[in-house]
Amino acid sequence: MSRPWDELPPREALAALAADFHRRGWMAGTAGNLSARSGAGRFWITASGCPKGCLDPGRDFLEVDLDGRPLDTPPGVRPSAETAIHAALYRRFPEASACLHVHSLAAARVSHDLPPEAVELPLPPLEILKGLGVWEAAPRVALPLFANHLEVARIARAVARRFAVEAPAVPALLIRGHGVTVWGESLQQAHDRLECVEFLLAYLDGAGSGTP
Ligand SMILES: [Zn+2]
């Protein structure tokens, strides 16, 4: 069944989603990046340094290949370094057609507060896990956690290495002190999954602060 976010042309949908996420505080300033497959071996992604509350679908996107290389670079448009993470996920998960990366306060705070040796964030066994494909009576699943690096290519390589041998229990990953990335088979599914992950992170953030 066709759903609203997949009925729009990809760049228009991504710009509208970014404005929505910006209003929710998940994409402050120019933070975060959103992408959607545009064909075999290529995807559209938000360009670097563009304010996420007011993206221009015609100007603020780049089309890149699955190595993250721009297929065309309009003047003044730069690819985001974080494109490498999107590319790694599209290569690893052929069924993924959209990938959403945001810098929410809950994601930054919950991941920052984890012990230094942690490699995952256990998720609470809440009903909303069904939105991430987890249908168990007492689920014990975790979000994969990655170290943050100034050189984003290091994060992308770590994601590729880990997921090559171990598929995550949920279609999402967390970068410490940074943000969350979610993917889906459609833009609508990725959007819905991101809302579920952010719900879980807000729950954990509230639990940690003593305000459930
Ligand atoms: Zn980021």
Alpha helices in the chain (DSSP H): 4-7, 10-23, 83-92, 105-112, 152-165, 187-209
Residue 48 has pLDDT above 60, yes or no: yes
Count of CB atoms within 10 A of residue 144's CB? Answer: 21
- Full-model pTM: 0.94
Cα(136) to centroid of ligand 1, in Å? 31
Ligand 1 center from residue 180 Cα (angstroms): 8
pLDDT digits (tens, 9 = 90+) for 54-91: 999 999 999 999 999 999 877 788 888 899 999 999 99
The rounded Å distance from CA 103 to ligand 1 centre is: 6
Going along the chain from its start, the domains and CATH numbers come out as 4-209 (3.40.225.10)
Closest CA to 101 of 30, 42, 151: 30
| β strands within 118-168, DSSP E | 120-122, 142-146
Instruction: Please tell me whether residue 98 adopts helix, strand or coil conformation.
Output: strand
